[in-house]
Structure 1
Amino acid sequence: MEKLAERDEEEKILATVFSECTAGRGRVVAISGPIASGKTALLRSFAQDAADAGATVLEATASSFESHHPLGIIDQMLRGRRLSSPSAEREIRALLEGVCDSVARVDESRALRQISLPILNLLHSAFQHLTSSQTLVVCVDDAHFMDVESLQYLLALMRRMSNAPILFMFSYCRDLGRNSVQRIIQAEMLRMPNCCQMPLNPLSLTGVAAVLGDYMGLETAGRLASEYRCLSGGKPLLVHALAEDHTTAGGTHEAGTGPDEHGRPVAGPAFGRAVLSCLYRSDPVMLELAQVIAILGACGSLPVVARFCDTAPESVRQVVTSAGLGGLLDPGFLGQPSVRKAVIGSIPPGVWHAMHSRAARLLHDEGAPALAIAEHLMLVEEKFPWANRVLREAADQALVEGNREAAIGYLRKAYHTCADRREQAGISAKLTDVLWHHNPCAAKRYLPDLVAAIKNGYLAVQQSVQVVMNLLWHGEVAQATSILALLRDGSGGQVTKRTVSYVDKMCLWLPLAYPGIASGVGRVDTAPLNVMAPTSAPEHRAVAALGAVLGNGHEASAVHAAELALREARAGVASPASSMAALATLLYSDQLDKASVWCDSLLSGAGEKHGTVWKAMFISARAAVDYRLGDLANAEQQAQEALTLMSPESWGAALAVPLAFLVLAITAMGRYKDAESYLEFPVPDAAFETLGGLHYLNARGHFHLATGRYDAALQDFLACGHLMQVWDVDCPAAVPWRTDAAQAYLCKGLLPQARELIAEQMALLPPGRSRTHGMTYRVHAATLDLEERRPVLLEAADIFESRGDSLGLAYALTDLSHACKALGDRGQARARAHKARALAERCHAAPLQESLAAVFEDGPPAESMSERHWPAPQLSKAELRVAELAARGSTNEQIARKLFITVSTVEQHLTRVYRKLAIRRRTELPSRLGEAVQ
């Protein structure tokens, strides 16, 4: 016999009863217990043991589908059995085949009629023949579903064969099956003097652990026993199913078996199948009721279930609390996702749709939560007049709970089923706003219809402003401008104080987000300084702070206001747009340490709180901070991650921001081919009307400068400066276009122009020692005579070091080492170069490391070592002609005219000359070219 958990006592009783039967004493055993309590396993195990011991075993399993078939159970037992004689077999077979005519039907509402003595005599002869040579064991599983006729005749045989070696065994569930059968079992069978009643109890913790031990280690089984017993109710069948789920998942809680939000185990597919099989073996009404409860989910209270089934709540309560079910319809079972999925999956497709439709109507009438009703609305095609309102409410609730995908699904369903154009426009606006936060490209398809809806007056002003923001994100400047002008003029016919405030709020942001079009829509002035007071709204403070910094005024107050807005954002009372403006304020104030901390704080929950778009923007800000701190590798990584989060189409005009800092970082690392490939990305024209476009022009200019295309670099830097001046955002710390352009002028040999730009920038800088001061001093040093450079570069290096800009410090020290070497102080030159090289290696700035090679000397006398360390570079004749003219002060255009070549060819020759001579700028050509020629 197979070992059954915690059934030792029952097995001993059955062994004793069997021994008594073999001695010629008839016995009856009634095994009772709820569904899945192990009755069938115990019955089959004993039947197998009895057969192995030489007994004749007759087995039958009752079913609700055959419960009205007269003598169906006896037919199962005797079919195929050899009886006393061929004539007896024929008589019994004829009896069973013609039973519908020969056996009276039983009326459940009246007393049972008398049984037929001829039939009873035939059956008695057959059973007596089977017991003539060996013990006979008659097993009926699920006896509560027996046909009444079979039960009556078996009872009669029990009374007549009490002294024969025959054992009748029945397993049954109380309160299940036909009422007449239950009455007979309780009133007659259980009252027989030779009847042994055997109720089965649920498995204890020890029993559950014993079952689990066959599937997993003993330690794991002991640890999970308590939770699995609670989940299974101690039912062996369900414990085995849970163990199977655990094994299938490899103990890693995959396939739906991991803990829920409360740390409790969640059943998997095997558990769901096991519960469904139990429901199939119960009365059909049980399965139908389970399907209703599963469909209704958390809203399936007894009164609601009763209304769904058009029956009395008390009737439902009696079924749900039936002892035979053993709590199988409790929420603890049907509430498990795998069980609910299995039960709902058992519903036929046609019935399934009808049930969801009925559930939606019923739950709406009951005032159920919108999310519960929407679950059903999503699965039916039937239209209800109230459906769109419910779906919109459900979308709002889903967003509050962080379930964005569900919210989008509800809104799309509402959009496609809505017939009213005004209401559909409102739904479309909401859907577009939700989509934008995670996938702006998906939101773009709704914009044309929304623009038409605004013009037709279908959208409220607040929704219209959101549409304008969406249009601007995607670079649809013309449409955004016209709609915003329409809203400001009030020609939409819906002007109130509140609606005007929405438009004014948008216009407050516009000069900072899209300064290129701000004047075209009636630009408002930057918020006054008192708006940065703590009593002001976070958005106003953030805008005012950024405006103050870009306008080169009140930097200290702006930084304070920005940090206040960021603290409010962390507390959840400020928008992500405010956070972005506040970060830009810190960045443009050279408060890189503070910006770094706040970037990390915002990124810790950006994706969950605000969506993919804002997370990508915060990562771009992090890239900007890393670049300005000289951490080029991290800047590249962050910019790459930002670009990976969204497609270029989803980035819209904002694509310029991560691209700019990616190009800046890899250009500084000397990976010019990579930088050039990123510059080939198509950037929307509208990007150059934003602050992000300034950074892109700056990055492209630095790429041209690093690759010797000085005219192209100068063009980008001056274009950037022109825009900043026109937009009144000429803040050197934001984009230092003057120092950048000055470097380009120096490379072209145009010293006066470079000095003029440096003087302008120095006049704009506020008092202090910011990173921008260090950049300005460093470029300023290049415009001075050799003897004057050292103190200025020392000041620049000191500033870079205090501000944490490793790359700026490396450049300043490199310039200082070259100056010291040119002045004959080779010891100081090497000392500065060593530190610069260490910083350059840490920053991964390969070009800087190459330029330092000219400073170092190793070992013996300087003269001989210098020749060995700097072998005479092999310049071609064309390169030498270009280099000589450049060394005399000729511009690229002048060289091109004199040599009858293009400016581009001049730039290419100079790039190769600089690389061969190991120099970085035009002013170094005279001295280094002389060494090369010698």
Structure 2
Amino acid sequence: MDANRPGRALAGRDDELRRLAARLSPGAPGEGSVIVVRGQAGIGKSSLLDAALAALTDTVVCRGAGLPDEGAAASRDLLAELRRAGARVSDPDDFAAWYEDFADWAGGRSAIVFAVDDVQWCDEPTVRWLSLLARHSTRLPVRMILVRSAADGPAGAAERLADLESWYGTEVLDLGPLPAEAVASLAREAVGSEPGEAFVRHCVEQSGGNPLLLREMLDELGKVASGIAPVAGSAAGAALIHSLFAGVPDYARTVATAIAVLGGQDLSLVARLAKVPARTAGTAVELLRSQHILAVDGFSFRHDPVRDGLLDALEPAELGRWRRTAAILLSDAAGSPEEVAEHLLELAELDAWMVDLLRDAANAACDRGAPWDALRYLRPAAAARPSDGGLAIQLAETVALLEPDSGFDLLRRALELQQDPVDRARAAVKLGRAALVARRCGTAVTVLDRVLTVLGGEMDQQLRGHLEGLLCLVGIEDRDSLAKLDTRIQPRDEDGPEAVVDARHLAVCAVVAALDGTRPREAAEWAMRAIRGYTPTTDDSAVSSAVLALLLADEVDVARDELTRAVELVPAQRSEYLAFRGLLGHWCGDLATAAADAGQAYALSRRAEGRTGGVVPRIALATVAAQQGDTTKAMKLLREADSPQLWDHTVMRPWFELVDARVHWAAGDREAALKLFQRCGESLADVGIANPLLAPWWFEAACLLADEGRFDDAAELAAEGTEPASRWGTPRAIGMAKLATAVATRGHERVGLIEEAAAILAGSPARLEEALAEFHLGRALVDAGDTAAARTRLRRCVELSLRTGDRFLLRRAQRIAAEAGIPSEVTPLASLSPAERHIARLAGRGASNRVIAERLFVTVRTIETHLTSVYRKLRISGRAELAAVLGHTEERPAVLEGVR
């Protein structure tokens, strides 16, 4: 039902209307091309849309609406409106062909607005079509306004719309309740005189500022004023409940109260709670429906304020009796624990069975992914049993899901309530896991160490090994704890990979061996055994350490698979694991994938208010942005990450300093970059990290010094890194050491040494370093006067840079080639994979996605995914530009240009 009927002004929405007008009018800025208007039922969304569209001039308006029984109705209506407007519309199933026709027509229009009401009822193809239209039309005079209810819609509607609503070009407008001034204006219109303050306050309270409920109330008042409907007392001063139930028999009001308490149930439960026969309850329900108090179907009130008013009319003690009886009836009827718990929450005192039921309700809420509801049940339960250690642990763990820092503090207090040694040790394990999320590792180390010391032999060996392994994992994450735990953390010399069985201990052995930089084979084997020895859904504490060890040992495929598993199975840590996967993508030279993972991690971390895991996503995204040449974005992200949490972090602190140095180098401040590289090395030395690859400051500083012509200083740093790199012994480490030595070398030996380094790096996952080696080799050949060989090497560097997305190195290579007068045969297609290149050529020749999919024996979705990647890599928006790029490319090769 529309909240604002024809002939009535749209009250209280002036700001929203101006905001929409600014976005929808011809010539509005390009950003915010999609506007989503959200709000509860009856809040006035459709009326706002009507008013906004009515104010448009010189605009083609195409309007449709989603229907509950027909998800494609909106797209059909929009296409019909386009045809009426004169557009030549082809088959929308082939979006590329359809969009080409539409773009030709739309380019000659001043403004086009697509408006969809009740978009939550649209099916997936319609939502996908709208999303594609929005993304491809950023250069056209197209605006889109989508209206959706905050609650209504089929299952999965919110997920279908999430991608479109979170797009950077989307602006979301949430409609809230009407302000008191607007309520007063509407009341003045209804009663024909200036309403009193008490009456306006009454209207606000009863309607909740919802225009629909307010209109209903004011209509009833209008009927009373004209004598159409009787009401006891003054309309302006009487409560809504008194007006509605005037003349209604007492038994009917009692049944209505029972329905209000139960929140809608079957008739037998309502009758038992009201203490009336079932037949009498049925008669009362029919009477309440005839008086428009209850909805036509079911046992819900037409307006929520009516239900609230019935409950408010009861004295607190009386309402408590109603609630207690309702809880008992629902429990006896095998109602769900959460359903019963809602009534128990209203009671001042809880019986023993009620506390147990609240705990069951909390478990059910967590199982369905609603820890906020679980907290509502656990808090009164914990207050009723303050000395119950198990209940205190359950409450603390639930709080930690939403606010890790607060949950950690609660776990510390709950630990003191545990009397049994085994329970105390298990609580300490939970504390350690929470510390990894809340970044309270230093405090946790102290607590865990004390538990191990005090309990000693009272724990069984398996639990003790579990706790010791977790203590070491937590200790590794805290810079100040490494020295204290040296004897616990360091694996004994006689401990080969087969001597350790606990997954956490295995992960500790792996990461210690990796950070120590001495045993890559053992580190990888320990890490792989750790991965096989635990389940992320029950305990993911070993993930980060095992993955770091695998990464340093160049076992990148296993590391990626494990991070993907953790991303899917550990929602609470999804942001951090996505960020680690982004860093892994950077490590392997896949910057496009790395940017996607790091960007998603950053978005998740920003939405998770109250959590403290935002450092890793910010550093990951800054790492990729710096490599892609976006120094402004990288610098902003690094400043966001610079916090006390970062400075306590063993691994991320030196990496932060390394990325900060890269950003300063890319921005042209080389002296600052050198100081930051040196600080990175000092940070690693402070905590005893000897692995040369964790944050290879020596390698990058040597390259920078060689660029500056300071070859002696560069050679000194290269020598400093060569010994630990040789000791670690992976192809990446050896190749980087040889490259650092080579760039610091003068004379005829320089070219041969760089060639050797490039060959070694080509056999490793180090794509970025391989491209860098080709760059230095090309530059060295230019200096040696061998332009033909330099051309081959610089071309190879550009190809690798395009594939990886390394814009910083690409610009350097372009500059060197331009200065040497070397053209390149590299085309834009060089950045594409073979599959992407083949699909791009077919699409550029006019083949539809369906035709390409049939020819290649894959799904249409696969083709769409590949083309999206192609558009991103070539920096184009769609097929029209793709055809132009391909035509230009196949006519003649592109020439390497200088930095712009």
TM (norm. structure 1) is: 0.53
* Counterpart check, 1:377 vs 2:344: yes
The one of 626, 630, 634 equivalent to 1:667 is 626
The farther-off stretch of 589-598 and 488-497 is 488-497
Partner in structure 2 of residue 409 of structure 1: 376
Q: Is the 8 A contact 1:632 1:666 kept in 2?
A: no
Distance in 2 (CA, whole Å) between partners of 1:354 and 1:647 is 44
2:587 to 610, 624, 628: 628
Are the equivalent residues in 1 in contact too, given 2:365–2:374 (CA < 8 A)? Answer: yes
Contact 2:598 2:617 in 1 (8 A): yes
2:690 counterpart SS class = coil
Offset at residue 820 of structure 1 (A) = 0.8
Q: Aligned to 2:812, which of 815, 828, 850?
A: 850
Is residue 398–residue 406 contact of structure 1 (8 Å, CA) maintained in 2?
Answer: yes
Deviation string, structure 1 residues 387-437 (Cα, Å, up to 9, x no partner): 44332332122112222221122223434x33x5433x7555433433333
* Residues 654 and 680 in structure 2, CA contact (< 8 A), matched pair in contact too: no
Instruction: Report the aligned-residue RMSD.
Output: 5.4
1:210-248, CA deviations, whole angstroms, 9 ceiling, x for partnerless residues? Answer: xxxxx999995999xxxxxxxxxxxxxxxxxxxxxx998
Closer, same or farther: CA 431–492 of 1 in aligned 2, 3 Å: farther
2:737 aligned to 776, 781, 798, which one? 776
1:306-345 equivalences under 5 Å are 307-310=272-275, 315-316=277-278, 344-345=307-308
AA at the equivalent of 1:730? A
The Cα offsets for residues 366-404 of structure 1, whole Å up to 9 and x where unpaired, read as 775532321112334444455443323321221122222
Matched, 1:595 2:559: yes
Q: Contact between 2:598 and 2:620, CA under 8 Å: does it hold in 1? A: yes
2:781 is the alignment partner of 1:826: no
SS in structure 2 at match of 1:619: helix
Matched residues in 1 for 2:284 and 2:608: separation? 60
Match of 1:691 among 648, 651, 670: 651
Task: Work out whether residues 675 and 703 of structure 1, in 8 Å CA contact, stay in contact via their aligned partners in 2.
Answer: yes
Distance 2:764 2:620 in 1: 19
Q: Match for residue 619 of structure 1? A: 578
CA separation in 2, counterparts of 1:216 and 1:645? 30
Aligned to 2:360: 393
Q: What is the deviation of 1:684?
A: 1.3
- The whole-number CA distance in structure 1 between the counterparts of 2:155 and 2:677 is 61
What do the CA deviations read for 1:270-316 (whole angstroms, capped 9, x no partner)? 9xx9xx999999986467447536744698694x65653446xxx43
Letter in 1 for 2:345: M
- Alignment partner of 1:716 out of 679, 685, 690: 679
1:660–1:323 Cα change, 3 Å: closer
Matched-pair contact (CA < 8 Å) for 1:660–1:696: yes
Note the C-alpha offset of 1:456. 14
The equivalences for 1:853-868 within 5 A come to 853-856=815-818
User: 2:719 and 2:648 mapped to 1: Cα distance?
Assistant: 26
Deviations 1:646-679 (A, max 9, x none): 3599798855533433343333344445444444
Cα distance in 2 for partners of 1:734, 1:257 equals 50
Q: CA deviation at 1:353?
A: 5.4
> Residue by residue, what CA displacement relative to the aligned partner does 1:22-56 show, whole Å, maximum 9, x if unpaired?
xxxxxxxxxxxxxxxxxxxxxxxxxxxxxxxxxxx
CA positional deviation for 1:708:
1.2
Change (3 A) 1:574 1:361: closer
CA distance in 2, matches of 1:509, 1:336: 55
Q: Distance in 1 between matches of 2:480 and 2:554?
A: 24
CA shift in 2, pair 1:721/1:521, >3 Å: closer
- Looking at structure 1, the residues matched to 684 and 752 of structure 2 have their Cα atoms a distance apart, in angstroms, of 29
Is the Cα contact below 8 Å between 1:774 and 1:800 reproduced in 2? Answer: yes
Letter aligned with residue 697 of structure 1: E
Supply the distance in 1 between the matched residues of 2:692 and 2:508 (Cα, whole angstroms): 19
Per-residue CA deviations over 1:664-722 (Å, capped at 9, x if unaligned) read: 33333444454444444432167445222232233234445553125513422321441
Relative distance call for 1:371 and 1:638 in structure 2 (3 A) is: same
Query: How far apart are 1:578 and its partner, in Å?
Result: 3.3
Percentage identity across aligned positions? 20
**Aligned residue type for 1:292:** A
Q: For the residues of structure 2 that align with 1:257 and 1:353, how far apart are their CA atoms?
A: 32
Contact 1:546 1:558 in 2 (8 A): yes
1:642 aligns with 2:601: yes
Out of 833, 836, 843, which is 2:797 matched to? 836
CA contact (8 A) 2:718 2:740 kept: no
Deviations 1:875-897 (A, max 9, x none): xxxxxxxxxxxxxxxxxxxxxxx
3-state DSSP of counterpart to 2:484: helix
User: Residue 490 of structure 1 aligns to a residue in which SS?
Assistant: helix
- Name the residue aligned to 1:489: 453
Secondary structure at the aligned position of 1:577 is classed as coil
Q: Is the 8 A contact 1:408 1:434 kept in 2?
A: yes
Aligned position for 2:550: 586
Q: Does residue 1:347 correspond to 2:242, yes or no? A: no
Deviation at 1:517, TM superposition (A): 0.4
Q: Distance between the aligned counterparts of 1:860 and 1:465, measured in 2?
A: 62
- SS for the counterpart of 1:576 is coil
Q: Using the TM superposition, give the Cα deviation of residue 627 of structure 1 relative to its aligned residue in structure 2, in angstroms.
A: 1.7
- CA, structure 1 residues 426+216, in 2 after alignment: closer, same or farther (shift >3 Å)? closer
Checking the alignment, whether the CA contact within 8 Å between 1:721 and 1:730 is kept in structure 2 is yes
Residue 405 to residue 831, structure 1, CA distance change in 2 (3 Å): same
Distance 1:760 1:772 in 2: 10
Could you tell me how far 1:621 is from its partner in structure 2? 0.7
Q: Which residue identity does 1:850 align to in structure 2?
A: R
Give the 3-state SS of the residue equivalent to 2:387 in structure 1. helix
| Change in CA separation of 1:216 and 1:807 when aligned onto 2, cut-off 3 Å | closer
Distance, in Å, in 2 between the alignment partners of 1:458 and 1:406 is 30
Structure 1 residue matching 2:547: 3-state secondary structure? helix
> In the alignment, residue 373 of structure 2 is paired with which amino acid?
A
| 3-state SS, counterpart of residue 577 of structure 2 | helix
Equivalent-residue separation in structure 1 for 2:401 and 2:761 (angstroms): 38
Structure 1 position 624, deviation (Å): 0.4
TM-aligned CA distance change 1:809 to 1:642, over 3 Å: same
2:713 to 750, 753, 764: 750
Contact 1:833 1:856 in 2 (8 A): no
Give me the TM-score of the superposition, normalised by structure 2.
0.55
- 2:736 is aligned with what amino acid? M
1:764 corresponds to which residue? 727
Q: 1:651 to 1:774 in 2, by over 3 A?
A: farther
Please state how far the C-alpha of 1:257 moved relative to its aligned partner: 4.9
Q: Does structure 1 residue 422 correspond to structure 2 residue 382?
A: no
Counterpart position of 1:736:
696
Contact 1:777–1:793, Cα closer than 8 Å, also in 2 = yes
The answer for the alignment partner of 2:191 in structure 1 is: none
Unmatched 5+ stretches in structure 1: 1-214, 224-245, 264-268, 862-934
Q: Give the corresponding residue for 1:194.
A: none
- Alpha-carbon distance in 2 for matches of 1:751, 1:599: 36
What is the match of residue 510 of structure 1? Answer: 474
For 1:262 and 1:280, how far apart are their aligned partners in 2? 42
- Residue type matched to 2:739 in 1? R
Query: Contact (CA 8 Å) 2:797, 2:813: kept in 1 or not?
Result: no
Q: Do the aligned partners of 1:422 and 1:459 also contact (CA within 8 Å) in 2?
A: no
Output the CA distance in 2 between the equivalents of 1:693 and 1:653.
16
